[in-house]
Structure 1
Amino acid sequence: MQLIDTLALVGEVLSWVGLGVGLPLLLLALLIRTVEGAWLPVEIAVIERDGSLIGRWFAGGDFHERPLTRRESAAADADDGWAEGVVSANNPAHARVGEPPHARRVILTLGIVFAGVGFAGLVVSLLPLLLS
C-alpha cells in the first residue's frame, strides 16, 4: 500500500466519523436555535416577596415575573434591586438571570469541529483521484 492510499483510507474514516457526527450536531444546534430563538439582553428587577426573590422584566410589550431559582438568587444582587439577564425572542416570558445557556454554543462548536474534520478527511480521501 502506498502512502497516498494510506492517507486516503485515513481520510475516508475521518470523513465518515466527522461528517456522521458533525452534521447531526449542526442540525441539532439549528433546531435548538429555531425553538428557543435568540437570547436578548434585559434588565431584571429583583424584589423580595415572602422571603423569596422574584424577578420582574419587561419584554415583548408586556411585564413578566417569576420566582428566581437558588442559582439565580445567588447571582442577582438583591441590595441593588437589578440583575442582568437574557430573554428568549420567541417567548418573552422565558428569561434567565445571567448568561444564556451554553448548551447550544457547545453543540454548535462541536458540530463545526467534527464537520470540519470530516470535510478535511473527505478532501484527503480524494487525493488518489486527483493525483492519478
Structure 2
Amino acid sequence: MSAAPSPVSLSDAVGAITEILTWVGLGAAIVFGGAALVARLADGTWLPIRAVVIGDPASEGAGGQVVRWFGDDGVHEAPLTAELRAAVQGDELELFHRVGTRDDVRLHERSPWPRLLGGVALACAGVGVLALAVQIVTMVAGG
C-alpha cells in the first residue's frame, strides 16, 4: 500500500517561496551592484570643456566638421557626430572630455549605465529584503 502524500501547508509554501526570493533577490543585488561599481570605475573621469566647431580641410569633400578644444597637453580634436551637431550653439558647444585621452568627448558627464545597474541592484535588494521580512513574519505567526 502506498501512503497518500501529506498536503503542503500554506505557511510551508510561503516559506519556500520567500526563501527563494530572498536568496535570488540579494544575490542579484550583489551582482548588479558590483557591475554598477565596475561600470562607474571603467567610465573614468570626465572634465567639462568648451569646444569650437570647425571645418576639417582634410575631409572637406565629405562635409566633415570637427570639434577642437585646448587641453593641458595641447589641442584636441574629435569628429562632429550627429548627436554633437544637435547640441551646437553657434559655433561652440559645451562637452565633457575624458581625462587621459585625446579625442573622447560626450554631452553628459556621467554614463547612464552605472545608474541603471545601481537602480536594478536596489530593486533586487528591495525584493530580497521584503521576502525576508515576509518570511520572518510567517515564521513568527506560525509559532
User: How many pairs align?
Assistant: 126
The CA deviation at 1:19 is 1.8
The CA deviation at 1:84 is 2.0
Q: Mind listing any 5+ residue stretches in structure 2 that lack a counterpart? A: 1-8
2:39 is aligned, of 28, 32, 37, to: 32
Q: Structure 2: how far apart are the matches of 1:57 and 1:124?
A: 57
Instruction: Report sequence identity in percent.
Output: 30
TM-score normalised by length of structure 2? 0.69
> In structure 2, what is the equivalent of residue 16 of structure 1?
23
Q: Mind listing any 5+ residue stretches in structure 1 that lack a counterpart? A: none
**Which string of whole-angstrom CA distances, capped at 9 and with x for unpartnered residues, describes residues 62-103 of structure 1?**
3321112222223333xx1111222335x353221x224322
> In structure 2, what is the equivalent of residue 75 of structure 1?
87
**Which string of whole-angstrom CA distances, capped at 9 and with x for unpartnered residues, describes residues 12-61 of structure 1?**
222122223221111011001111124443322222222222122344x2
Contact 1:45 1:82 in 2 (8 A): yes
CA RMSD, Structure 1 to Structure 2 (Å): 2.6
Radius of gyration: which is bigger?
Answer: 2
TM-score normalised by length of structure 1? 0.73
